[in-house]
Structure 1
Amino acid sequence: MVFKRRDRRPIWRIVFEFFWPRGGWARAAQYVKHRLHRLPDSPEKIARGIFAGVFTTFTPFFGMHFVVAGCLAFILRGNILAALLGTFFGNPLTYLPIGLISMKTGYFLLGRHLHHEEVQRSLAGKFLDASADLQHNFFAMFTDADMDWHRLNVFYDEVFFPYMIGGIVPGIIAGLIAYYISVPLIRAYQHRRKGVLKAKFNALKKKANRKADERSKQD
Protein backbone atom coordinates (compact mmCIF):
# COMPACT_ATOMS: atom_id res chain seq x y z
CA MET A 1 0.00 0.00 0.00
CA VAL A 2 1.16 3.54 -0.79
CA PHE A 3 0.54 5.10 2.65
CA LYS A 4 1.65 2.12 4.73
CA ARG A 5 4.65 2.63 7.01
CA ARG A 6 7.77 0.99 5.57
CA ASP A 7 9.35 0.62 8.99
CA ARG A 8 6.96 -0.98 11.44
CA ARG A 9 7.63 0.21 14.97
CA PRO A 10 7.96 -2.49 17.61
CA ILE A 11 5.55 -2.43 20.56
CA TRP A 12 8.21 -1.20 22.99
CA ARG A 13 8.92 1.80 20.74
CA ILE A 14 5.23 2.72 20.48
CA VAL A 15 4.92 2.63 24.27
CA PHE A 16 8.15 4.60 24.73
CA GLU A 17 7.10 7.31 22.25
CA PHE A 18 3.76 7.64 24.03
CA PHE A 19 5.61 8.73 27.17
CA TRP A 20 8.44 10.48 25.30
CA PRO A 21 7.50 11.53 21.74
CA ARG A 22 10.10 11.67 19.02
CA GLY A 23 11.98 14.91 19.50
CA GLY A 24 10.94 15.16 23.16
CA TRP A 25 8.10 16.95 24.89
CA ALA A 26 9.79 20.31 24.33
CA ARG A 27 9.45 19.87 20.58
CA ALA A 28 5.86 18.65 20.98
CA ALA A 29 5.10 21.76 23.06
CA GLN A 30 6.65 23.98 20.37
CA TYR A 31 4.43 22.32 17.74
CA VAL A 32 1.30 22.93 19.83
CA LYS A 33 2.40 26.55 20.43
CA HIS A 34 2.99 27.04 16.68
CA ARG A 35 -0.43 25.64 15.82
CA LEU A 36 -2.15 27.82 18.41
CA HIS A 37 -0.49 30.98 17.10
CA ARG A 38 -1.59 30.28 13.52
CA LEU A 39 -5.30 29.88 14.35
CA PRO A 40 -7.38 32.54 12.55
CA ASP A 41 -9.67 33.60 15.44
CA SER A 42 -9.23 36.52 17.83
CA PRO A 43 -6.71 36.10 20.67
CA GLU A 44 -9.52 36.11 23.26
CA LYS A 45 -11.46 33.36 21.50
CA ILE A 46 -8.34 31.21 21.08
CA ALA A 47 -7.43 31.79 24.73
CA ARG A 48 -10.92 30.73 25.84
CA GLY A 49 -10.35 27.50 23.94
CA ILE A 50 -6.99 27.04 25.66
CA PHE A 51 -8.71 27.62 29.02
CA ALA A 52 -11.21 24.88 28.20
CA GLY A 53 -8.47 22.44 27.19
CA VAL A 54 -6.28 23.08 30.24
CA PHE A 55 -9.25 22.92 32.62
CA THR A 56 -10.35 19.60 31.11
CA THR A 57 -7.02 17.95 31.98
CA PHE A 58 -7.97 18.34 35.66
CA THR A 59 -11.11 16.22 35.20
CA PRO A 60 -11.24 12.42 35.60
CA PHE A 61 -12.89 11.87 32.21
CA PHE A 62 -9.88 10.09 30.73
CA GLY A 63 -10.41 9.03 27.14
CA MET A 64 -13.02 11.77 26.69
CA HIS A 65 -10.88 14.88 27.21
CA PHE A 66 -11.23 15.92 23.56
CA VAL A 67 -15.03 15.68 23.78
CA VAL A 68 -15.25 17.50 27.13
CA ALA A 69 -12.83 20.23 26.00
CA GLY A 70 -14.71 20.73 22.72
CA CYS A 71 -18.09 21.00 24.47
CA LEU A 72 -16.71 23.41 27.08
CA ALA A 73 -15.10 25.56 24.38
CA PHE A 74 -18.43 25.64 22.52
CA ILE A 75 -20.21 26.81 25.70
CA LEU A 76 -17.55 29.47 26.35
CA ARG A 77 -17.56 30.51 22.67
CA GLY A 78 -13.90 29.61 22.42
CA ASN A 79 -11.93 28.13 19.57
CA ILE A 80 -12.59 24.38 19.59
CA LEU A 81 -9.30 23.46 17.90
CA ALA A 82 -7.46 25.51 20.53
CA ALA A 83 -9.33 23.55 23.20
CA LEU A 84 -8.22 20.24 21.68
CA LEU A 85 -4.62 21.45 21.52
CA GLY A 86 -4.92 22.74 25.09
CA THR A 87 -5.58 19.22 26.37
CA PHE A 88 -1.92 18.43 25.61
CA PHE A 89 -1.25 20.23 28.89
CA GLY A 90 -2.16 16.84 30.30
CA ASN A 91 0.40 14.22 29.27
CA PRO A 92 2.17 11.25 30.88
CA LEU A 93 4.62 13.66 32.52
CA THR A 94 1.95 15.87 34.13
CA TYR A 95 -0.95 13.50 34.83
CA LEU A 96 0.52 12.30 38.14
CA PRO A 97 0.95 15.78 39.71
CA ILE A 98 -2.43 16.84 38.27
CA GLY A 99 -4.03 13.75 39.79
CA LEU A 100 -2.36 14.27 43.16
CA ILE A 101 -3.45 17.92 43.31
CA SER A 102 -7.01 17.14 42.24
CA MET A 103 -7.41 14.19 44.61
CA LYS A 104 -5.98 15.99 47.64
CA THR A 105 -8.07 19.09 46.92
CA GLY A 106 -11.17 16.94 46.51
CA TYR A 107 -10.60 15.11 49.79
CA PHE A 108 -9.97 18.43 51.53
CA LEU A 109 -13.18 19.99 50.18
CA LEU A 110 -15.16 16.87 51.13
CA GLY A 111 -13.71 16.90 54.63
CA ARG A 112 -11.87 13.62 54.23
CA HIS A 113 -8.31 12.66 55.08
CA LEU A 114 -6.05 11.11 52.47
CA HIS A 115 -2.54 9.74 52.81
CA HIS A 116 -0.02 10.04 49.97
CA GLU A 117 0.23 6.27 49.47
CA GLU A 118 -3.57 6.04 49.25
CA VAL A 119 -3.56 8.60 46.44
CA GLN A 120 -1.04 6.54 44.50
CA ARG A 121 -3.13 3.40 44.99
CA SER A 122 -6.26 5.30 44.01
CA LEU A 123 -4.81 6.62 40.79
CA ALA A 124 -3.23 3.36 39.73
CA GLY A 125 -4.73 0.26 41.33
CA LYS A 126 -8.29 1.49 41.66
CA PHE A 127 -8.43 2.50 37.99
CA LEU A 128 -7.37 -1.07 37.19
CA ASP A 129 -9.90 -2.48 39.67
CA ALA A 130 -12.73 -0.49 38.07
CA SER A 131 -11.63 -1.61 34.60
CA ALA A 132 -11.62 -5.22 35.76
CA ASP A 133 -15.17 -4.84 37.11
CA LEU A 134 -16.33 -3.33 33.81
CA GLN A 135 -14.78 -6.17 31.86
CA HIS A 136 -16.21 -8.80 34.21
CA ASN A 137 -19.72 -7.31 34.12
CA PHE A 138 -19.63 -7.03 30.33
CA PHE A 139 -18.95 -10.74 29.93
CA ALA A 140 -21.43 -11.50 32.73
CA MET A 141 -24.22 -10.20 30.48
CA PHE A 142 -23.58 -13.15 28.16
CA THR A 143 -22.84 -15.82 30.79
CA ASP A 144 -24.23 -17.12 34.06
CA ALA A 145 -21.69 -15.16 36.10
CA ASP A 146 -22.98 -12.66 38.66
CA MET A 147 -22.28 -8.98 38.16
CA ASP A 148 -20.07 -7.33 40.76
CA TRP A 149 -20.11 -3.55 41.16
CA HIS A 150 -18.15 -3.37 44.42
CA ARG A 151 -14.85 -2.13 42.99
CA LEU A 152 -16.65 0.33 40.72
CA ASN A 153 -18.49 1.73 43.74
CA VAL A 154 -15.19 2.03 45.60
CA PHE A 155 -13.63 3.71 42.57
CA TYR A 156 -16.46 6.24 42.30
CA ASP A 157 -16.50 7.04 46.01
CA GLU A 158 -12.75 7.17 46.62
CA VAL A 159 -11.37 8.31 43.26
CA PHE A 160 -13.77 9.61 40.63
CA PHE A 161 -16.00 11.87 42.76
CA PRO A 162 -13.16 13.44 44.83
CA TYR A 163 -11.11 13.84 41.62
CA MET A 164 -14.01 15.56 39.85
CA ILE A 165 -14.74 17.92 42.75
CA GLY A 166 -11.09 18.59 43.55
CA GLY A 167 -10.10 19.28 39.95
CA ILE A 168 -12.45 22.26 39.61
CA VAL A 169 -10.43 24.77 41.65
CA PRO A 170 -6.90 23.96 40.34
CA GLY A 171 -8.37 23.50 36.86
CA ILE A 172 -9.85 27.00 36.89
CA ILE A 173 -6.62 28.47 38.29
CA ALA A 174 -4.43 26.73 35.68
CA GLY A 175 -6.91 27.62 32.92
CA LEU A 176 -6.98 31.30 33.89
CA ILE A 177 -3.18 31.43 34.03
CA ALA A 178 -3.04 29.89 30.54
CA TYR A 179 -5.71 32.34 29.33
CA TYR A 180 -4.00 35.53 30.55
CA ILE A 181 -0.61 34.35 29.31
CA SER A 182 -1.98 33.33 25.90
CA VAL A 183 -3.91 36.51 24.99
CA PRO A 184 -0.94 38.94 24.75
CA LEU A 185 1.34 36.30 23.20
CA ILE A 186 -1.18 35.38 20.50
CA ARG A 187 -2.01 39.05 19.84
CA ALA A 188 1.67 39.94 19.45
CA TYR A 189 2.25 36.96 17.16
CA GLN A 190 -0.76 37.82 14.99
CA HIS A 191 0.33 41.47 14.66
CA ARG A 192 3.84 40.39 13.72
CA ARG A 193 2.51 37.87 11.22
CA LYS A 194 0.25 40.49 9.66
CA GLY A 195 3.26 42.79 9.33
CA VAL A 196 5.29 40.07 7.64
CA LEU A 197 2.47 39.21 5.23
CA LYS A 198 1.91 42.90 4.46
CA ALA A 199 5.60 43.38 3.74
CA LYS A 200 5.60 40.36 1.41
CA PHE A 201 2.50 41.65 -0.35
CA ASN A 202 4.05 45.11 -0.84
CA ALA A 203 7.25 43.52 -2.16
CA LEU A 204 5.27 41.44 -4.68
CA LYS A 205 3.23 44.50 -5.64
CA LYS A 206 6.38 46.55 -6.27
CA LYS A 207 7.87 43.72 -8.28
CA ALA A 208 4.72 43.45 -10.40
CA ASN A 209 4.63 47.24 -10.95
CA ARG A 210 8.30 47.22 -11.93
CA LYS A 211 7.71 44.48 -14.48
CA ALA A 212 4.68 46.33 -15.81
CA ASP A 213 6.76 49.52 -16.21
CA GLU A 214 9.49 47.59 -18.05
CA ARG A 215 6.93 46.12 -20.46
CA SER A 216 5.40 49.54 -21.13
CA LYS A 217 8.83 51.01 -21.91
CA GLN A 218 9.57 48.13 -24.30
CA ASP A 219 6.25 48.73 -26.08
Structure 2
Amino acid sequence: MAAIGRALYPRGGWWRAARYMVYRLRRLPDPAYKISRGIAAGVFTSFTPLFGLHFFIAAGLAWIMGGNVVASLLATFVGNPVTFPVIAGASVELGARLLGQDHALPLNATFDAFSRVSVELWSNLKGVLTGRPVVWTGFEHFFSNVFMPYLVGGVLIGTVAGVASYLMSRPVISAYQKARIKRLKKKFEKQRRIAQEAAAKRMKKEARDG
Protein backbone atom coordinates (compact mmCIF):
# COMPACT_ATOMS: atom_id res chain seq x y z
CA MET A 1 0.00 0.00 0.00
CA ALA A 2 2.87 2.37 0.80
CA ALA A 3 4.40 1.79 -2.65
CA ILE A 4 1.07 2.51 -4.33
CA GLY A 5 0.71 5.66 -2.27
CA ARG A 6 4.14 6.91 -3.33
CA ALA A 7 3.30 6.23 -6.98
CA LEU A 8 0.07 8.20 -6.77
CA TYR A 9 1.44 10.94 -4.55
CA PRO A 10 5.25 11.24 -4.47
CA ARG A 11 7.09 12.36 -1.37
CA GLY A 12 6.91 16.13 -1.18
CA GLY A 13 3.84 16.26 -3.44
CA TRP A 14 3.36 16.78 -7.15
CA TRP A 15 4.32 20.45 -6.93
CA ARG A 16 7.76 19.54 -5.61
CA ALA A 17 8.10 16.86 -8.28
CA ALA A 18 7.21 19.41 -10.96
CA ARG A 19 9.76 21.88 -9.58
CA TYR A 20 12.42 19.19 -9.65
CA MET A 21 11.60 18.41 -13.29
CA VAL A 22 11.91 22.09 -14.21
CA TYR A 23 15.20 22.30 -12.29
CA ARG A 24 16.62 19.33 -14.20
CA LEU A 25 15.48 20.80 -17.53
CA ARG A 26 17.17 24.09 -16.72
CA ARG A 27 20.45 22.33 -15.98
CA LEU A 28 20.63 20.48 -19.31
CA PRO A 29 23.65 21.64 -21.36
CA ASP A 30 22.11 21.42 -24.85
CA PRO A 31 20.85 24.43 -26.87
CA ALA A 32 17.28 25.54 -26.24
CA TYR A 33 15.95 24.13 -29.50
CA LYS A 34 17.22 20.62 -28.70
CA ILE A 35 15.80 20.68 -25.17
CA SER A 36 12.47 21.97 -26.49
CA ARG A 37 12.32 19.20 -29.09
CA GLY A 38 12.87 16.68 -26.33
CA ILE A 39 10.11 18.26 -24.27
CA ALA A 40 7.75 18.10 -27.25
CA ALA A 41 8.54 14.40 -27.74
CA GLY A 42 7.84 13.63 -24.09
CA VAL A 43 4.62 15.62 -23.95
CA PHE A 44 3.33 14.01 -27.14
CA THR A 45 4.13 10.52 -25.86
CA SER A 46 2.18 11.17 -22.66
CA PHE A 47 -1.02 11.31 -24.71
CA THR A 48 -0.60 7.84 -26.21
CA PRO A 49 -2.21 4.74 -24.64
CA LEU A 50 1.03 2.75 -24.82
CA PHE A 51 1.55 2.63 -21.07
CA GLY A 52 4.79 1.05 -20.01
CA LEU A 53 6.49 2.16 -23.22
CA HIS A 54 6.36 5.93 -22.76
CA PHE A 55 10.06 6.25 -21.85
CA PHE A 56 11.16 4.24 -24.87
CA ILE A 57 8.83 6.05 -27.28
CA ALA A 58 9.77 9.49 -25.94
CA ALA A 59 13.49 8.72 -26.16
CA GLY A 60 13.12 7.32 -29.69
CA LEU A 61 11.14 10.32 -30.90
CA ALA A 62 13.63 12.74 -29.33
CA TRP A 63 16.50 10.95 -31.05
CA ILE A 64 14.71 11.04 -34.44
CA MET A 65 13.86 14.73 -33.98
CA GLY A 66 17.38 15.64 -32.91
CA GLY A 67 16.16 16.58 -29.46
CA ASN A 68 17.52 16.05 -25.97
CA VAL A 69 16.66 12.52 -24.79
CA VAL A 70 16.83 13.38 -21.08
CA ALA A 71 14.39 16.25 -21.64
CA SER A 72 11.99 13.87 -23.37
CA LEU A 73 12.08 11.47 -20.43
CA LEU A 74 11.49 14.28 -17.94
CA ALA A 75 8.61 15.65 -20.03
CA THR A 76 6.69 12.37 -19.80
CA PHE A 77 5.95 13.61 -16.28
CA VAL A 78 3.09 15.48 -17.98
CA GLY A 79 1.31 12.12 -17.92
CA ASN A 80 0.76 11.31 -14.25
CA PRO A 81 -2.09 10.04 -12.06
CA VAL A 82 -3.40 13.59 -11.73
CA THR A 83 -3.54 14.35 -15.46
CA PHE A 84 -4.28 10.90 -16.90
CA PRO A 85 -8.04 11.13 -16.26
CA VAL A 86 -8.19 14.34 -18.31
CA ILE A 87 -5.87 12.99 -21.02
CA ALA A 88 -7.72 9.67 -21.30
CA GLY A 89 -11.19 11.22 -21.24
CA ALA A 90 -10.42 13.82 -23.91
CA SER A 91 -8.51 11.38 -26.12
CA VAL A 92 -11.15 8.64 -26.06
CA GLU A 93 -13.97 11.12 -26.62
CA LEU A 94 -12.28 12.74 -29.64
CA GLY A 95 -11.11 9.43 -31.06
CA ALA A 96 -14.57 7.88 -30.81
CA ARG A 97 -16.08 10.81 -32.71
CA LEU A 98 -13.44 10.68 -35.44
CA LEU A 99 -13.92 6.93 -35.83
CA GLY A 100 -17.68 7.37 -36.20
CA GLN A 101 -18.61 5.59 -32.99
CA ASP A 102 -21.95 6.49 -31.46
CA HIS A 103 -20.53 7.30 -28.06
CA ALA A 104 -17.26 7.03 -26.15
CA LEU A 105 -16.83 4.82 -23.15
CA PRO A 106 -17.11 6.60 -19.79
CA LEU A 107 -13.82 7.28 -18.05
CA ASN A 108 -14.31 4.62 -15.38
CA ALA A 109 -15.13 2.04 -18.07
CA THR A 110 -11.99 3.04 -19.99
CA PHE A 111 -9.71 2.46 -17.00
CA ASP A 112 -11.59 -0.74 -16.15
CA ALA A 113 -10.98 -2.00 -19.72
CA PHE A 114 -7.24 -1.31 -19.37
CA SER A 115 -7.21 -3.21 -16.10
CA ARG A 116 -9.08 -6.18 -17.55
CA VAL A 117 -6.94 -6.46 -20.67
CA SER A 118 -3.77 -6.24 -18.55
CA VAL A 119 -4.97 -9.19 -16.47
CA GLU A 120 -5.87 -11.06 -19.68
CA LEU A 121 -2.46 -10.42 -21.23
CA TRP A 122 -0.68 -11.62 -18.10
CA SER A 123 -2.91 -14.71 -17.88
CA ASN A 124 -2.28 -15.59 -21.54
CA LEU A 125 1.46 -15.07 -21.11
CA LYS A 126 1.43 -17.57 -18.26
CA GLY A 127 -0.72 -19.83 -20.44
CA VAL A 128 1.89 -19.85 -23.18
CA LEU A 129 4.56 -20.81 -20.67
CA THR A 130 2.50 -23.46 -18.88
CA GLY A 131 0.57 -24.88 -21.84
CA ARG A 132 -2.85 -23.70 -20.67
CA PRO A 133 -5.39 -22.45 -23.26
CA VAL A 134 -4.96 -18.86 -24.43
CA VAL A 135 -8.25 -16.96 -24.54
CA TRP A 136 -8.75 -13.44 -25.89
CA THR A 137 -12.29 -12.76 -24.73
CA GLY A 138 -12.04 -9.05 -24.02
CA PHE A 139 -9.23 -7.99 -26.32
CA GLU A 140 -11.40 -7.29 -29.39
CA HIS A 141 -13.75 -5.05 -27.40
CA PHE A 142 -10.81 -3.28 -25.82
CA PHE A 143 -9.02 -2.73 -29.12
CA SER A 144 -12.01 -1.30 -31.00
CA ASN A 145 -13.73 0.64 -28.22
CA VAL A 146 -10.85 1.80 -26.04
CA PHE A 147 -7.40 1.47 -27.58
CA MET A 148 -8.11 2.77 -31.09
CA PRO A 149 -10.21 5.77 -29.95
CA TYR A 150 -7.57 6.58 -27.33
CA LEU A 151 -4.76 6.24 -29.89
CA VAL A 152 -6.44 8.35 -32.60
CA GLY A 153 -7.59 11.06 -30.20
CA GLY A 154 -4.36 10.98 -28.21
CA VAL A 155 -2.15 11.36 -31.27
CA LEU A 156 -4.09 14.42 -32.42
CA ILE A 157 -4.28 16.10 -29.01
CA GLY A 158 -0.71 15.05 -28.23
CA THR A 159 0.53 16.62 -31.46
CA VAL A 160 -1.10 19.93 -30.57
CA ALA A 161 0.22 19.72 -27.00
CA GLY A 162 3.70 18.78 -28.22
CA VAL A 163 3.89 21.67 -30.70
CA ALA A 164 2.55 24.08 -28.07
CA SER A 165 5.10 22.88 -25.51
CA TYR A 166 7.90 23.40 -28.04
CA LEU A 167 6.76 26.91 -28.94
CA MET A 168 6.36 27.89 -25.29
CA SER A 169 9.47 26.24 -23.86
CA ARG A 170 12.05 27.28 -26.46
CA PRO A 171 12.01 31.06 -25.81
CA VAL A 172 11.81 30.51 -22.04
CA ILE A 173 14.78 28.13 -22.02
CA SER A 174 16.73 30.37 -24.41
CA ALA A 175 16.16 33.41 -22.19
CA TYR A 176 17.16 31.45 -19.09
CA GLN A 177 20.36 30.18 -20.72
CA LYS A 178 21.35 33.67 -21.87
CA ALA A 179 20.70 35.08 -18.39
CA ARG A 180 22.68 32.24 -16.81
CA ILE A 181 25.64 32.83 -19.14
CA LYS A 182 25.51 36.54 -18.28
CA ARG A 183 25.51 35.74 -14.55
CA LEU A 184 28.45 33.35 -14.96
CA LYS A 185 30.40 35.99 -16.90
CA LYS A 186 29.78 38.56 -14.14
CA LYS A 187 30.86 36.05 -11.52
CA PHE A 188 34.01 35.23 -13.48
CA GLU A 189 34.85 38.90 -13.97
CA LYS A 190 34.36 39.55 -10.26
CA GLN A 191 36.63 36.66 -9.30
CA ARG A 192 39.23 37.79 -11.85
CA ARG A 193 39.14 41.34 -10.48
CA ILE A 194 39.55 40.10 -6.92
CA ALA A 195 42.46 37.91 -7.98
CA GLN A 196 44.11 40.83 -9.81
CA GLU A 197 43.69 43.12 -6.78
CA ALA A 198 45.12 40.44 -4.50
CA ALA A 199 48.07 39.96 -6.85
CA ALA A 200 48.67 43.71 -7.00
CA LYS A 201 48.65 44.00 -3.20
CA ARG A 202 51.05 41.09 -2.93
CA MET A 203 53.44 42.69 -5.44
CA LYS A 204 53.36 46.01 -3.57
CA LYS A 205 54.07 44.23 -0.31
CA GLU A 206 56.95 42.32 -1.87
CA ALA A 207 58.30 45.58 -3.31
CA ARG A 208 58.19 47.27 0.13
CA ASP A 209 59.75 44.30 1.85
CA GLY A 210 62.44 44.07 -0.81
Q: Counting helix residues as a fraction of each chain, which structure ranks higher?
A: 2
Aligned Cα RMSD in Å?
Answer: 1.5
Which of 143, 160, 175 is the matching residue for 1:173?
160
Q: CA deviation at 1:153?
A: 2.3
1:126-151 superposed Cα distances (whole Å, 9 cap, x missing partner)? 11221222122122224453210121
- Equivalent residue, structure 2, for 1:81: 70
TM-score under structure 1 length normalisation? 0.89
1:153-179 superposed Cα distances (whole Å, 9 cap, x missing partner)? 222222112211111111011112211
**Is 1:120 aligned with 2:108?**
yes
CA–CA distance in 1 between the matches of 2:129 and 2:191?
Answer: 70
- Equivalent residue, structure 2, for 1:35: 24
- Equivalent residue, structure 2, for 1:96: 85
- Equivalent residue, structure 2, for 1:106: 95
| Number of matched pairs | 206
> What amino acid sits opposite 2:108 in the alignment?
Q
**Is 1:59 aligned with 2:18?**
no
Gap runs ≥5 in structure 2: none
Gap runs ≥5 in structure 1: 1-10
- Equivalent residue, structure 1, for 2:177: 190
Which of 150, 154, 159 is the matching residue for 2:146?
159
1:15-67 superposed Cα distances (whole Å, 9 cap, x missing partner)? 22222222221111111111111211111111111000000000011011110
SS at structure 2 position matched to 1:41: coil
TM-score under structure 2 length normalisation? 0.92
Q: CA deviation at 1:215?
A: 1.8
